[in-house]
Each structure stands twice: as structure tokens, then as C-alpha cells.
């Protein structure tokens, strides 16, 4: 029966993804999809691994190894250019991650418990959300699950084949998202420590693979930083060595960690993302206390330790809560398996109703969490509407300076225009910068205000009651105020850049 519940949740996932696509609001992250679009149109290469509008000379901006972007581009090409391919590729990556999680659950909870583990995994809103989202995050989670399982086997069994597989999986996971790999490595070490297994050869294998992975990551980062150093007018300089603000963006500071508001917001977001219904919180906590759920506690330790290191990065971006998903899946799966064993067998003819109740309850909890995660923002027509306005009042040969167009150039992508994302128009006050912008072909400034729906959603979040939508004046410098207005409404302002 757990297999049928899991199948039912997969059907719900497929139906939801189909609905979002045919309704015209598929889930995606603009900087990932933008690179996939370029790959599909111009070929897969490091040079084409760009975030749309992120710098003025189209230099590669590589945050992770562009494996997802390449795979998505392949699927887009297979479907004749349809961007549905990106979402389908993400779903495929999600499905690939179920095998290692099943093996972990089987080892920890038994064969029946492994199915409940998969059910509890898919029933988490953050997993459900990113499993079909056109982004690299689901693949990063899948890579971490494979790295964990293969390295777990190598640490205990040894062997060249397993060792090579462990190195490949761990390097790939680290190059996808380092915090995901860090959580995985800490979970493996914590698991060994809880088993009180301190045989030197086991730890040597873990440390050896970790050192190889660290060396490759260091070399890869040196290479990507060398590409970033060639970018002109980057929207954000992502190099920690050159931009002190990135240190805070990744790690936060002591004041951030000691602020109660930080953890209150984090608890709210994790509650919605990993538990769905807050009724499940004590159930999952109880699951961590099960004696045999050692690996669930190990994954929890991995998440907590990684969060304490990458505090701001993790707590500010909900896709990093995927790192907690295996822990919650093992905890809830363990409880559900125990309940089935202790109580369901005695229900006789009402047993089927009990399973239906579990399915309905988990599905309800799932969508409660999705609402808490503000999934309604995915169905906001505002980005489409402003992109249509930009397309109507510009021409394909224009080169735009865009304020408020999305971190990954969402408006530029939707409007099929080229340009550069900027934070405000202050640089226009500098004559040298202005003339260089003209020489680079920039001829219009576009300012897009926040979506009214986004503002409303932000105001409902803890501590955000005073959040207000900024006006055009907030972004206009003295020089920008003197530019000719091409178009203006309550949401979009387009200005013309004269050559002098």
C-alpha cells in the first residue's frame, strides 16, 4: 500500500506540473533558464554559460558547473525549442535521486520503511516545488544523495570502482552547490561517529575523497574567478576575494546569527518548506528520536552545521532547505512505518481507509506548505505584463539598462531584448560612464517597480509589515531625471539615452 501512496503523490506532482505549464506559469529560476536558452540557441560551451544581463560584455558568469543548463538545453532542443524541456529535465533529475534515498531508507528503516521515506520526501513542499522547477537546485540535491550513498558504501567496503565513483559523485556534488556537499559530508562523518566506528581506514577513505574534492573545487573556483575578472560592469561581483559584501552574503556575521529575528523567520520558512502542516512538527521531531533512525539524525546534524557556516546564504534562500529534506523524510518515514506496523494491521477492513487518510492528510499538508511558501507568486501575471510593455516600446536593436528586471535578466528574456541589469541610475551622473555606455550601444533606460502582489506577500512575512513599494524617484539620479520619457505608467518607466 505505501507504494500506491507514493505513486499517488507522483501523479499529484505530474498533474501540478502539467497545470502550471499549460496555465502559462511554469516554475523556473531566471538565471538558470537564461543560460539553458543560450545553450540551446548557440551551443553548449563555457563561453555561453551566461546570466542574461549580468555584465556588459557577455562574459560567462558561472556559479555552478553548468550540467543542469546543458541537460535542459538538450531537452529544449528535443522538444523543438519548447522551454517545457527545462522543466522535464528537472523532473528527470528528481527521479534519479529517488534510488539513493530509497537505499538510505532501506538501510535505516527496512524495506517497507524505505517506501514511507520516499513518501515523506515527496510530501515536503520544498521538494515538491523544486522537483519540477527549471533550475539547478533539484539536480544539486540529487547529486548530494548519490554522493552520500556511494561514499557511504566506499567508506565501509573500499574498492577501486567504488572509490572512483565516490570521487566523481562528490566532485560533481561540490561543483553543483558546495553547501549541499558540505551537509552530505558532515552527515556521513556524524553517522560514523554515532556508530562509534573509529576504524582508521573508514575515516581515511572519507577524508581522502574530501581532500580530492576540495582540491578540484579550489581549481574550479580559480578558473571561474578568472572568467569573472574579465566581466565589464557586473551586476554583482561574485568573487569573495574582490567583493567583501559577498562574504556577508555567503556567511553572514555574528550579529546576524545572534539576532532572534533571523531564527524566527527561519523557523517559519522551514516549517512551511519541510513540514507543510505545523501539526507534523512534533511527529517529525519524534521521528528523530527513534533509536534506529541514526542516519536521519546524521542528516539533521549536517544541515545544522552547514547552516551555522553558511548562515545568510542558507536562511535567505529557501532552496537550501532541500538539504534538510532527507533528514525529515527519514524521520517522518520512520514514524509512518512504525504506525503502519503497530496499528494498521489490526484495522482489518478499515485498513484501506487508514491509508487513504494518510494520503489525503499528507497531500493537504503539502499544499498548506506550498501556500505558506507563497506559491501564489509563481502565478503572478505581472512579469509577463511588464515584459510585454518593454517589448512594445523598444525594438530588438535597442540595448537596455534595466532596473528591477530580475537578478537573472527575467524581463530581458521575456521581452527578447538585450541589455544590462543595474541597481539604479546613479552611474549616469558620471560623464565618463555615460559616454562609455553610449559607445557600448546602450540607448534606453528601463525602470520596473516591484509587483504589487510581491509587495503584498512580503508584507505578510514576519517582520516585514512596513515593507513598501519603491517609487520611480527612488531609482532616478539627477542625470536620469533629465532624460526624455519614452513611456511611463504606474509600473514601468522607459527613458531615452541621447548620445550627448
Core vs surface per residue 234-260: b (16+ CB within 10 A) or e: bbbebbeeeeeebeebbbbeeeeeeee
Residue closest to 273 by CA, chosen among 132, 371, 369, 376: 369
Query: Which of 376, 395, 418 is the last residue before a domain boundary?
Result: 376
Q: Are residues 352 and 491 in the same domain?
A: no
Query: Which of 328, 348, 376 is the last residue before a domain boundary?
Result: 376
Q: Are residues 187 and 329 in the same domain?
A: yes
3: CB partners within 8 A, 6+ apart = 115
Q: Are residues 316 and 413 in the same domain?
A: no
Give the Cα separation of 455 and 402 in Å (integer): 20
Give the Cα separation of 274 and 327 in Å (integer): 10
pLDDT of residue 242: 86
Residue closest to 71 by CA, chosen among 88, 56, 54: 88
Q: Are residues 356 and 449 in the same domain?
A: no
Q: 400 with 444: CB under 8 angstroms?
A: yes
Q: Are residues 371 and 475 in the same domain?
A: no
171: CB partners within 8 A, 6+ apart = 212, 213, 216, 217
DSSP assignments along 333-386, one per residue = HHHHHHHHHHTGGG-GGGHHHHHHHHHHHHHHHHHHHHHHTTGGGGG-SHHHHH
pLDDT of residue 69: 95
Q: Are residues 359 and 393 in the same domain?
A: no
What φ, ψ does residue 394 adopt, rounded to 5°? -135, 175
Q: 199 with 321: CB under 8 angstroms?
A: no
What φ, ψ does residue 235 adopt, rounded to 5°? -60, -40
Which range of residues forms the domain containing residue 352? 2-376
Q: Are residues 361 and 469 in the same domain?
A: no
C-alpha cell read off for 53 = 544581463
pLDDT of residue 348: 74
Give the Cα separation of 360 and 375 in Å (integer): 20
The pTM of this model reads: 0.92
CA dihedral (168, 169, 172, 173) positive or negative: negative
Parallel/antiparallel/unpaired status of strands 492-496 and 484-488 = antiparallel
Give the Cα separation of 409 and 143 in Å (integer): 27
pLDDT of residue 465: 65
Q: Are residues 386 and 371 in the same domain?
A: no
Give pLDDT tens digits along the chain (500 positions).
888 999 999 999 999 999 999 999 999 999 999 999 999 999 999 989 999 999 999 999 998 999 999 999 999 999 998 999 999 999 999 999 999 999 999 998 999 999 999 999 999 999 999 999 999 999 999 999 999 999 999 999 989 999 999 999 999 999 999 999 999 999 999 999 988 878 889 899 999 999 999 999 999 999 999 999 999 999 999 988 888 889 999 999 999 999 998 898 899 899 999 998 888 889 999 888 888 889 999 999 999 999 999 999 999 899 999 999 999 999 999 999 988 888 777 777 777 788 888 899 999 999 999 988 888 888 989 999 999 999 999 999 999 999 998 888 999 999 999 999 999 999 999 999 999 999 999 999 999 999 988 888 777 766 666 778 888 899 999 999 999 999 999 999 999 999 87
Q: Are residues 316 and 450 in the same domain?
A: no
Q: Are residues 92 and 199 in the same domain?
A: yes
Q: Are residues 478 and 336 in the same domain?
A: no
Query: Which of 346, 376, 406 is the last residue before a domain boundary?
Result: 376
What's the total number of domains in the chain?
2
DSSP H or E stretch at residue 289: none
Q: Are residues 242 and 289 in the same domain?
A: yes
Backbone torsion region of residue 117, taken as left when φ is above 0, otherwise alpha when ψ lies between -120 and 50, otherwise beta: alpha
Q: 493 with 417: CB under 8 angstroms?
A: no
CA dihedral 387, 393, 396, 402 (to 10 degrees): -60
Backbone torsion region of residue 65, taken as left when φ is above 0, otherwise alpha when ψ lies between -120 and 50, otherwise beta: beta
pLDDT of residue 74: 95
pLDDT of residue 343: 77
Residue closest to 139 by CA, chosen among 206, 91, 75: 91
Total Cβ atoms within 10 A of residue 25: 17
Amino acid at each position: 500500500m505505501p507504494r500506491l501512496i507514493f505513486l499517488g503523490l507522483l501523479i499529484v506532482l505530474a498533474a501540478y506540473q502539467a497545470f502550471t505549464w499549460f496555465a502559462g506559469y511554469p516554475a523556473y529560476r531566471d538565471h538558470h533558464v537564461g543560460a539553458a536558452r543560450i545553450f540551446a540557441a548557440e551551443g553548449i560551451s563555457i563561453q555561453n554559460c551566461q546570466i542574461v544581463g549580468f555584465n556588459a560584455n557577455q562574459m560567462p558568469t558561472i556559479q555552478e558547473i553548468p550540467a543542469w543548463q546543458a541537460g535542459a538545453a538538450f531537452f529544449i532542443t528535443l522538444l523543438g525549442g519548447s522551454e517545457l524541456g527545462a522543466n522535464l529535465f528537472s523532473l528527470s533529475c528528481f527521479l534519479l535521486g529517488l534510488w539513493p534515498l530509497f537505499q538510505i531508507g532501506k538501510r535505516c528503516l527496512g524495506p517497507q520503511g524505505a517506501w514511507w521515506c520516499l513518501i515523506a520526501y515527496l510530501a515536503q513542499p520544498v521538494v515538491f516545488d523544486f522537483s519540477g522547477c527549471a533550475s539547478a537546485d533539484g539536480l544539486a540535491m540529487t547529486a548530494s544523495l548519490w554522493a552520500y550513498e556511494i561514499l557511504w558504501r566506499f567508506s565501509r567496503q573500499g574498492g577501486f570502482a567504488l572509490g572512483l565513483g565516490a570521487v566523481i559523485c562528490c566532485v560533481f556534488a561540490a561543483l553543483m552547490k558546495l553547501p549541499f556537499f558540505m551537509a552530505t559530508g558532515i552527515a556521513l562523518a556524524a553517522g560514523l561517529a554515532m556508530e562509534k566506528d573509529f576504524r582508521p581506514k573508514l575515516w581515511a577513505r572519507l577524508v581522502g575523497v574530501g581532500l580530492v574534492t576540495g582540491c578540484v573545487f579550489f581549481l574550479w573556483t580559480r578558473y571561474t574567478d578568472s572568467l569573472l575578472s574579465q566581466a565589464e560592469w557586473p551586476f554583482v561581483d561574485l568573487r569573495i576575494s574582490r567583493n567583501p559584501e559577498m562574504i556577508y552574503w555567503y556567511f553572514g556575521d555574528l550579529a546576524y546569527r545572534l539576532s532572534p529575528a533571523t531564527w524566527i523567520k527561519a523557523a517559519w520558512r522551514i516549517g512551511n518548506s519541510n513540514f507543510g502542516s505545523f501539526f507534523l512538527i512534533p511527529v517529525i521531531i519524534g521521528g528523530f528520536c527513534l533509536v534506529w533512525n541514526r542516519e536521519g539524525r546524521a542528516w539533521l546534524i549536517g544541515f545544522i552545521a552547514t547552516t551555522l557556516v553558511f548562515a545568510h546564504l542558507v536562511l535567505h534562500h529557501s532552496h537550501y532547505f532541500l538539504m534538510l529534506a532527507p533528514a525529515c523524510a527519514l524521520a517522518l518515514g520512520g514514524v509512518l512505518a512504525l504506525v503502519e506496523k503497530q496499528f494498521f494491521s489490526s484495522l482489518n477492513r478499515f485498513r484501506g481507509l487508514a491509508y487513504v487518510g494518510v494520503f489525503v492528510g499528507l497531500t493537504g499538508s503539502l499544499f498548506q506548505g506550498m501556500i505558506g511558501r507563497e506559491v501564489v507568486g509563481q502565478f503572478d501575471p505581472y512579469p509577463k505584463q511588464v515584459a510585454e510593455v518593454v517589448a512594445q516600446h523598444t525594438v530588438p536593436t535597442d540595448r537596455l539598462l534595466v532596473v528591477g528586471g530580475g537578478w537573472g535578466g527575467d524581463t530581458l528574456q521575456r521581452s527578447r531584448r538585450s541589455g544590462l541589469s543595474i541597481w539604479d541610475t546613479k552611474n549616469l551622473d558620471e560623464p565618463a560612464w555615460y559616454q562609455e555606455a553610449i559607445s557600448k550601444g546602450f540607448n534606453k533606460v528601463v525602470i520596473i517597480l516591484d509587483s504589487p502582489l510581491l509587495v503584498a506577500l512580503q508584507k505578510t512575512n514576519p517582520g516585514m509589515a512596513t515593507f513598501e513599494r519603491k517609487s520611480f524617484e527612488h531609482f532616478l539620479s539627477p542625470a536620469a531625471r533629465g532624460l526624455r520619457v519614452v513611456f511611463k505608467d504606474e509600473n514601468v518607466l522607459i527613458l531615452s539615452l541621447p548620445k550627448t
